[in-house]
Amino acid sequence: MPTRLFVLLLLLFPFGANAGEAEIQAAQSTIENQLKAFASGDNAGAYGYAAPGVRQVFPTLESFMGMVTGAYRPVYRPKDYSFGKVEEMGTGEVVQQLLLTGEDGKNYEAVYVLERQPDGSWRIKGVSLKASNALTI
């Protein structure tokens, strides 16, 4: 009987107690990997982290990069950054705050929305960016 209970628990809770933390870390890795791709000039690699909906709106690398370098320059080339608040939405989405310093030396807050893909990977669904009143990151 204890074996059946153990199997039942595994079926009900297949990811263990740290599933939320693992999902959040995976989503944060997606953000970091995109930032690293931008920093190294691998724009095609950075585009690969965009969710299908973003790729539909920006169907070419050129249109995507035009949007990023035009409206999201601090995200494209941050001097430094750190993760802030995070919330797992429970619907296959994670909302992650990123505090960063842009090339211009000003502080910004970017809020990323990531969605889990059918293959289990995380892709960036959207980013909002605003100037921040933070003194330091």
- pLDDT (tens digit per residue) in 33-50: 999 999 999 999 999 999
pLDDT recorded at residue 89: 87
Average pLDDT over residues 116-122: 96
- pLDDT (tens digit per residue) in 71-112: 999 999 999 999 999 999 888 999 999 999 999 999 999 999
Both tokens of 87, joined, read 């919330």
Question: Nearest to residue 27, comparing CAs of 77, 85, 70?
Answer: 85
pLDDT recorded at residue 132: 87
Both tokens of 5, joined, read 């209970």
Question: Nearest to residue 101, comparing CAs of 109, 93, 92?
Answer: 109
- What CA–CA distance (Å, rounded) separates 43 from 61? 8
What residues does each domain of the chain span?
15-131
Determine contact, residues 107/67, Cβ cutoff 8 Å: no
Question: Nearest to residue 125, comparing CAs of 30, 50, 38, 22?
Answer: 50
pLDDT recorded at residue 91: 81
pLDDT recorded at residue 19: 54
The CATH number of 15-131, from 3.10.450.50, 3.10.129.10, 3.40.50.720, 3.90.230.10, is: 3.10.450.50
How much of the chain exceeds pLDDT 90, in percent?
78
Residues in the chain: 137
Using the predicted structure, report yes or no on whether residue 7 has a pLDDT greater than 80: no
pLDDT recorded at residue 39: 96
pLDDT recorded at residue 1: 45
- What CA–CA distance (Å, rounded) separates 25 from 57? 27
Average pLDDT over residues 118-124: 97
Both tokens of 7, joined, read 């199997």
- What CA–CA distance (Å, rounded) separates 56 from 78? 26
Q: Which residue in this structure is represented by tokens 């960063």? A: 100
